[in-house]
Amino acid sequence: MLNCIIIDDEQAAVDVLTNYVNRLPQLNLVASFTSPVEALDVIRNQVIDVAFVDIRMPELSGIELMKLAGSQCKFIIASAYEEYALEGYQYNNIDYLVKPVPFERFVQAIHKLQSILNPNSEAERSGNADDYVFIKTESRIQKIALGDILFVEGLGNYVTVHTTKGKFVALLNVKDLEEALSPDLFLRVHRSYIISLGKIDFVEGNQIFLDNDTSIPLGDTYRNQLWTALDKKIITGRK
């Protein structure tokens, strides 16, 4: 079980996250705070696995709080302001949730946290083709089985998830999905593309061809990561 705290100067936001935490048996809510200074004292003196923190708060901002806390716990930011996402990832931030936070997106962040804190267990779990994620499309919350994903294509703040059952567009960026998907199953191969390793048919030059005859460009900065992943599966003869 993971010990967590909630830090937000708005009680309504605290109540929402408290409800979410209480719905997940793997989380134990130690305390909630509207004062970041009081929360910092708890982080420094108790064993806290993750803190859910707002960005804009009196006394200390969420960024300042993370700086002061250092490596004493992980953080998941929950903020209405998307412009702080990049700065937040410079510290011990695991995910960036934009308010109002859907429960499905909250669950996704917790799965990501668990995969980081216990990577061996997550790797075993991710090997199950029945595992899935939820993404928020324009009209609904869409469940997508990991085993159905062919590749992810990014365009600005939107991604299209190409699956064996169709395409789904979500207001996310490629980085969001890269961090949510297991690196044992998926790999970023270009600034705008993530592929399912199990759906690769062959690689030729700077193109990756998938089982559905789609070709994906291989970016120079991602080439070594692809070779490292493929080396684990390449059969070589005796020398």
Place of tokens 């399912």: 196
DSSP state of 181: S
Is residue 75 a contact partner of residue 94, using CB atoms and an 8 Å limit?
yes
In the chain, the percentage of residues whose pLDDT exceeds 70 is 89
How confident is the prediction for the chain on average, in pLDDT? 87
Question: pLDDT at position 89, please?
Answer: 65
**Residue entry with tokens 């790797």:** 123
Contacts of 68 (CB under 8 A, 6+ apart): 40, 60
Q: What is the 3-state secondary structure (H, E, C) of 42-59?
A: HHHHCCCCEEEECCCCCC
Domains in the chain with CATH codes: 2-117 (3.40.50.2300), 146-231 (2.40.50.1020)
Residue 121: C-alpha distances to residues 85, 128, 187 (Å): 28, 12, 19
Angle at CA of residue 131, ends 128 and 136, nearest 5°:
160
What is the gyration radius of the CA atoms in the chain, in angstroms? 19
pTM of this structure: 0.52
DSSP 183: T
In the block, tokens 């429960």 appear at 103
pLDDT tens digits for range 71-128? 889 999 999 887 766 665 667 788 889 899 999 889 888 988 888 887 655 444 444 4
In this predicted model, which residue has the larger pLDDT, 45 or 129? 45
